[in-house]
Every structure is written in structure tokens, then in C-alpha cells.
Chain A
């Protein structure tokens, strides 16, 4: 390897990659807006404390030997291995990238509802700062739009101090997860006095600093003080990388997380898909994979040929409800309770996915069950 490795993205995965490279003595430049920070606390602890969960401050980056370019990549010429960065401080910078790591995660845009551009959000550092400023006085009437993991966590966290309504187009919170998770979340939200308005269709919104009205075709007008958008995610990938499918969420990579067809480009975190020995090509938009895939890319760049194999794992805290899931839920065709674990079995009867509700001490059991169900061990698959 020669020259500096350039990591685009300063979130969980990009920082994990840059830190590992720097720890191994490689020259590394990390590009991203602001200081690197973590994400999961943004819908939990940080919402209450207002503190951004920094992964490193400027001094720590320097001490580690990570050069940080504060800005966003706006153009990328893969053939010439050059990037254009729009700097936060103004102006642009040309960066040479002999080895490049793409780690830009996902984007969390507001839904295209007229008037919704002014809704708050808490998936980004800027969003968190603005939202927590609006919520310094307790008892505000907050409407959270979107009852996926981020929205449901956000509603539960804010309910400790505010009067919260959670709204979604579908009829239950966490509708993409298993019904039992959805039911448990609903019970927890009820206990926190969060109103859930399901099957709600918002036509438009009138939002200013004094308050907001959501105009719905199903529930009339909803008055509140603050609207928080938590409705879905989009691709962060530029057209130069996605090619024919501009909506692609992930870059397809090989077992070392090198992007297919690009010998000097790797990807990690939310924006990569890789060939899992049991599940085929998958992307995993969760923290655990972001961390380990980031570290894996660093090792791969430094010469390791070990394939990347990691079971999907996510955790979520919805008030007092702790949800953890290991494995690949899509492969499970039958679910049952087995010794306190929710086990999803695949068509062959092997454990494909294990769900833990308020059982964090069982994580090892869950991992062991899914690993035992694996038809081929990683070592033999990639020998």
C-alpha cells in the first residue's frame, strides 16, 4: 500500500476504519462534516442531555494521527482517483485518493410533504442541536412522524418530559419488525402516555418557531409545538458510484469489502452490501456491523485476506423495553418461544434469527443458536 488512505464519511464506520488504520501506523485522511460522532444515542441519551456523542475531538484526532478534512465530498473521479470536497469553512479542496474507503452511511431526509421542510429531526448533529433547543421547557406538545426504530425510540425518550404523539402511515409502531416487537413497543408507549396515531395520512404541514399544525386526511388537524421527522432513509451514494440505480442504498462489495470492479475502493457500514456465507448478499444498517466492517476494511487495506463474516445484530431501547435481534429475520419462516428466546427457524429448521425482549444477558445464547444453525462455517466456506 502506498500513499494516504482516504476515508469518506466520519460516522461510526468511517471513524472505526480511520482509527484502526492510524493505530497500525498508516497515513489516513478522514473527510466528513464536523467532528466524528456516534448515532444511537441521538434518539436516546443525547435527546435528554443535549450532548453530541463525540467519537473524538480535534485534539484526539490529531493525537491519533488522523487528518480530518471538515467538509463533504461533492464529486468523485474514480478513474483519476480524485475527490472534490466542499469545505465547511467555505471553498473547495481537491483530494488525491490512491486508496479510498466509502463510509457515508444513509441519509435521513424529511418526507416530501408540503410544509414539512421545517420539521425538526434528530438523526444528525445539526438536527439534534436544533431540536434540543426547542425542548428546553418541559411539557411541550411534540409530534414524532414515523414509527420505525428511530421515531419510536425518540417518542419514548421525549415522553419523560413532554406530551408526545407518535404518527405513522401504518397501523402499528415498528411495523417492519415482528408483530411481538410491535406489540411490546405499543404497550411500552402506552405506559409512557405516548399517543399512537396509526394509519395517519399527512397532506401538508404549517410549521414555524411558535408551533405547528399537521393537516391530515385521516385525523383532521393536529396542533402541536414541535414536529420531529423520523420517516425513513435514503441513499447517501453519489451517482458516480451508484451507476444505473441512483436509489441504491449500498455498494456491492466482495468478501474483503472491496467494491466489486474497483480495485482501490472499499466500503463499510450502512452503505455496503457483502456476500454473507449463509444469507447471500446483504446490507446491515446497524451499529454493530458499522463498527466491525469499518475495522475490517482497515485490516483488508493493510493486507489481511480474512473474509468479513458478521451476523446482523441490532439493539434498541424504547423506554424500558430493550429489543435485541441477532441473525437474518427474512430467512425465518416459523417463530417459537424456546427457553425464553424468540427463535425464528429457516425452511430447513435451523435457527436463522433470535429475538430478545428485555433479556440482554441472553445475547451469547442467541448468537450461539444462530451460529449453530449455520450450514457452513466461515472457515470452511472461504478456505
Chain B
């Protein structure tokens, strides 16, 4: 199933664990804050990225 992945930029501290999991889907901006590069992605992939975040800054929602 395709889902939407979003990140709370105020919660992100830039540990980059998400980018290590899926650099094609998430990147960091200049202040070290993660942003999502894709508008939709497979739920499993989104979950893997979200689970890698040590502080739970990602949310997954249905399209």
C-alpha cells in the first residue's frame, strides 16, 4: 500500500539515522533537518524510515 510520510521539522535533531536507511526518500537540509523527497512510498519502506528515527519525528498517513 502506498502512504505519505511526513517529518516534524521542529522535532528533528539531525541524527541522520533516516538517511542511512533510505537516502532516496529522505535528505537533510543545511540545518541538519530531515525532509522527505517523495510524495508517496510503500508503507513498509515508510515504516522502516520512521522506525529508524530515535525520537519518532516521522508520521505515516494514508494517501
Q: Which A residues form the contact surface with B (CB < 8 A)?
A: 38, 40-41, 44-45, 48, 51, 53, 157, 287-288, 291-292, 315-317, 319-320, 322, 324, 360-364
Contacts and interface: CB of A to CB of B under 8 A. Distances in A.
Contacts of A292: 54
Contacts of B54: 288, 291-292
B37 interface: no
A362 B21 CA distance: 9
Contacts of A361: 19-20, 23
Contacts of A44: 14, 31-32
B28 A322 contact: yes
B60 to A, nearest CB: 21
B13 interface: yes
Given A45-B31, A317-B30, A363-B16, 10 more contacts: A40-B32, A41-B13, A41-B31, A287-B13, A291-B55, A292-B54, A315-B32, A322-B16, A362-B20, A363-B20
B interface majority secondary structure: loop
A319 B30 contact: yes
Contacts of A362: 20
B31 A324 contact: no
B59 interface: no
B40 interface: no
A363 B31 contact: no
Interface in B1-25: 9-11, 13-17, 19-21, 23
Contact of A45 (B20, B21, B23, B32): B32
A317 B31 contact: yes
Nearest to B20: A363
A317 B17 CA distance: 14
A53 B10 contact: yes
Contacts of A324: 16
Contacts of B21: 364
B20 A360 contact: yes
Given A45-B31, A319-B30, A360-B28, A40 B14 contact: yes
A40 B13 contact: yes
Contacts of B31: 41, 44-45, 48, 157, 317
A291 to B, nearest CB: 6
Contacts of B32: 40, 44-45, 315-317, 322
B56 to A, nearest CB: 11
B20 A53 contact: no
Interface string B45-59: 000000000110000
A364 B28 CA distance: 16
A45 B19 contact: no
B14 A317 contact: yes
B46 to A, nearest CB: 17
Contacts of A48: 31
Contacts of B14: 40-41, 44, 315, 317
B10 A360 contact: no
6 contacts: A41-B14, A41-B31, A48-B31, A53-B11, A315-B32, A360-B16
A280 B16 CA distance: 27
A38 B13 contact: yes
Nearest to B22: A361
Contacts of B20: 360-364
A251 B13 CA distance: 26
Nearest to A53: B10
A14 to B, nearest CB: 15
A361 B22 CA distance: 7
A44 B10 CA distance: 12
B14 to A, nearest CB: 6
A157 B31 CA distance: 8
A287 B30 contact: no
Contacts of A157: 31
